[in-house]
Amino acid sequence: MKPEQSLLSLWRVTKRYPGVIANDKVSLDLAEGEILALLGENGAGKSTLVKMIYGVIQPDEGGLLWKGKEQLIRSPNMARAMGIGMVFQHFSVFETLTVQENIALSLDAGVVKDAAALRAKIVELSNAYELKVEPDRYVHNLSIGERQRLEILRCLIQDVKLLILDEPTSVLTPQEVAGLFKVLRTLASQGCSILFISHKLKEVTELCDRAVILRGGKVSGECIPSQETPESIAGMMVGSDTQLSERYQKRIGSDELMVVNNLSVPPTNPFGTGLNKVNLSLHRGEILGIAGVAGNGQEDLLEALSGEDTRAAADNILIGKRKVGKLHAGERRLLGMSYVPTDRLGQGAVPEMSLADNTLLTSARKGLVSKGLILPHKVVELAKTIIHRNDVKCHNAHAQAKSLSGGNLQKFIIGREVDQNPEILICAHPTWGVDIGAASAIHRQLIELRDKGAAILVVSEDIDELFMISDRIAALYEGQLSAAVHTEQTNIEEIGKWIAGGFVHNDSEQGGQAYA
């Protein structure tokens, strides 16, 4: 299935790091106008490979041909000059600059000089493709989904010949995904090649012309996605004997472990959403899913529940019978709460610290400190246990958090928090950017914790995921939370209307009190 008229060819490309071969003699071809999926588990070598194409790193062995000529891409600037654009899974944006200023940094000086024309172009593309990115907003005020849209927009505004997308749809709504796919198909019809990395295999079968699969840093096979199913492709990626996610039995929770009463907080920035009279109850032995589009108050809710934001009144949030609205995150952890935040690299883990030290951050009470002194050997042993139990692919417990792939770091963070045996787990976007095998493992982990009696709140933009694991489900729109309903008593279409505000005029005053 080797394509003709190759724009890009890799020949036996190899990249080594201490203790691991990230890419082992990888060869592939990408034709002009082809949409090629690059698939594989977390740690299979996908990110390393595309970083070499984009000039972030250089191969140790092998060669790269661009339009039939061997080329060493020495830097991202050189790649962009050649017509290669890339959207990384971990965002490469400056938080203290505006959307327009971030985009301007990636463009030629001549374009940047005409600021008004650039702004008009940003608004035009944002509206045309339903990306909803305002040029004057500062990046530090953007939600995760909005930052992803900025990355996509920054590439679309350039005249790219090869567009590399690393998990571009993981935080987009179905409407935005449809808009993006329309853009990609148009670009491909005009001769632009697309290298598409995604763990959403249904999207791969819908969009991509061909797929190359990596396992353990090597090309293990390829296929035509339209002739496969997501299940058959998943089997090629992770092995046919791997247990994948399923429809789990729904449960009715028992006593209330957390209650939120009439919670209203103003936005933390002028462009934010805040929360408006939010009510919810979280019960022992259940998973409550919160659906919604990025930027509708998810971060405000997570910060209020976790204790990062203590502006609520004390009695707005109860754990058991205790008023905790004014307690900070550490005090809430002492009451049996664990937290998996949205931003895994920077908030969930300190990038430059080792996995062992990151374990200590939230697990100090598990016998890791004696008489005020840290017990390093116990810290390392616990980190090793978490790594082994959750099949985290890394060099060892001393590896820096930033050295892990996004999916492996997510497995580590969730494993660390579940290891606390919490009574309450607040979990944001548990499988964002995670491959299907790891996502299945995370889902099973959450279900097992639920079955032990924990109360779990999951915030996710993946409606399919919420229907799979949630016992009850609610929707968040512009800071208002719908009533929570049993998952089996609703459907994706109804919740899809709710996340667009369909519940607001009918039942928003009920908040999340419903527990039928």
pLDDT of residue 421: 93
pLDDT in tens, the chain (516 residues): 444 578 999 999 999 988 789 999 999 999 999 999 999 987 789 989 999 999 999 999 999 999 999 999 999 989 988 999 888 766 778 888 999 999 998 787 666 678 888 999 899 888 877 777 899 999 887 766 678 788 888 888 877 899 999 888 766 666 667 778 888 898 899 899 999 998 888 899 999 999 999 998 999 999 999 999 888 888 888 765 555 556 789 999 989 999 999 999 998 876 678 999 999 999 999 999 999 987 789 999 999 999 999 999 999 999 999 999 999 999 999 999 999 998 888 899 999 999 999 999 999 888 899 988 999 999 999 999 999 999 898 889 999 999 987 788 999 999 999 999 999 999 999 988 777 778 888 999 999 999 999 999 999 988 888 999 999 999 999 999 999 999 999 998 899 889 888 887 544 334 444 333
Q: What residues does 287 pair with on adjacent strands?
A: 456
Q: Which domains, ranges and CATH numbers included, belong to the chain? A: 6-238 (3.40.50.300), 246-336+425-432+457-516 (3.40.50.300), 340-421 (no CATH)
Residue 3 vs residues 7, 209, 285, 353: alpha-carbon distances, Å: 10, 10, 52, 44
pLDDT of residue 506: 45
Structure tokens at 369: 């400190």
3-state secondary structure at position 415: helix
Report yes or no: 85 and 153 within 8 Å, Cβ to Cβ.
no
Residue 339 vs residues 138, 182, 191, 308, 394: alpha-carbon distances, Å: 27, 37, 45, 11, 23
Residue 130, exposed/middle/buried by CB under 10 A (0-12, 13-18, 19+)? middle
Q: HEC profile for 39-77?
A: ECCCCCCHHHHHHHHCCCCCCCEEEEEECCEECCCCCHH
Report yes or no: 176 and 324 within 8 Å, Cβ to Cβ.
no
Distance CA 16, CA 489 (A): 52
Tokens 């090869």 sit on residue: 162
pLDDT of residue 511: 44
Q: What's the pTM?
A: 0.72
Q: What angle do CA 40, 42, 46 make, to 5 degrees?
A: 55
Residue 335, exposed/middle/buried by CB under 10 A (0-12, 13-18, 19+)? middle
Structure tokens at 441: 């493992």
Q: What residues does 222 pair with on adjacent strands?
A: 212
